[in-house]
Structure 1
Amino acid sequence: MGGNVSKARNVSFGLDEEEKVTVVEGVKLSEDVLRRMRESQGSERVRPSSPPAPDSHKTSPSAKPAEPSASETQEEIRKNYERQQALVQEQLAKLAQRERETAAVTDMDRTTPAVIMEKWRTHEEQEKAKLLPADLDAWAKRLEWKEQELATISSFYKEQLEILEKKNFENYKQTAEQYCEAATKTEAWIR
């Protein structure tokens, strides 16, 4: 189970009458865990679960207690292994549930006004980003219209400037002619 890579696995298990897990599928246990489980099974067999009840009918001393066969031992080992696996999976499921509950609670705690405002700003910026292409088109049209308006105004002012320069030149000519005439008259009058 250890390792650097974490994977999600589908695990199923079953419960017996005592609500103990009996079957677990989808979990691979390491050799170390299997060895410990086998050792614990061996020690369970060695120690008696309860002292033998006094029996009025004693068996003959020559009769040997029946030892379980190899297939029964294998079956017991398998069942114990499955029980252990189921317990591990049940504990993992409980732990995962607690982690989910803790995560849900911490998410609720983190929802402070500052976080809410930040989420709102982020949402608002995303909406603006969605509208940006449409806004850019509108801005481009407005810019073209403004450029046309400025070009029209520029041509109007150029025309007005030309008219003023023409009038100014005519006034200059007229003033120069009047000056020459006045100078000629004054010269003639002085002589």
Structure 2
Amino acid sequence: MGSGESTTRKVSFGVDDEDRVRILRGVKVMLVYPSPSSRPQQSSQHRPQPSTQSSTSKPDSRTKEEQRRYEQKQKIHKEELAKAAQREREAAMQKMTKAMNRERQHTRKEAEKTKQLAQQLQKKDSQLKALDAFYKEQLAQLEKRVHARNTDPVCAGLQSQILSCYRENGDQTLRCSDLAKAYMQCINAAKKVRVFSHLDLEYQRSAKG
């Protein structure tokens, strides 16, 4: 047995419950495992054949359907998130645009107010300059009349006050406006007195004649 020499020995064999052959006498006990080809083949007719078609097709179709539904849900979820983000961006842009428009309108209104105030100040300054020039002209005319007639000055007190005021306030002659008005009223009243006096003299002359 495996050594090249053949000897005759009587041995006894036995088969256990697991189809393993055991040598009972004559040599050491050896366990011999039969090859798969030496095992008795069971008839395929007695073994139930798994229905591969039914067991694999149903889970596969179910898995594909679940995968399709999952992908569809993910797609819808992504679209909803994208729409929400777009709405938020649009709302933010609208708020920013409104804020910028309000700021532009406020700035425009402030610029218009400033322009109007500047125009009003310029107009007021022109009026004050014109009034100052008028008072100076009237005063000069009064002084010429007084010197030309070489008579006692009319409203001498007011005249001296006006002259003093103009000397003291050369750059701010508007402070003398009240005195100038009073002086003009005094002059007009004096003119009226002279006219009435002249008429009275004429009347007296005509009465005597």
> Do both share a fold (TM > 0.5)?
no
Into which bin does the TM-score normalised by the smaller protein fall?
0.3 to 0.5
TM-score normalised over the length of structure 1: 0.32
* Highest RCO, 1 vs 2 (Cα 8 Å, sep ≥ 6): 1
TM-score normalised over the length of structure 2: 0.30
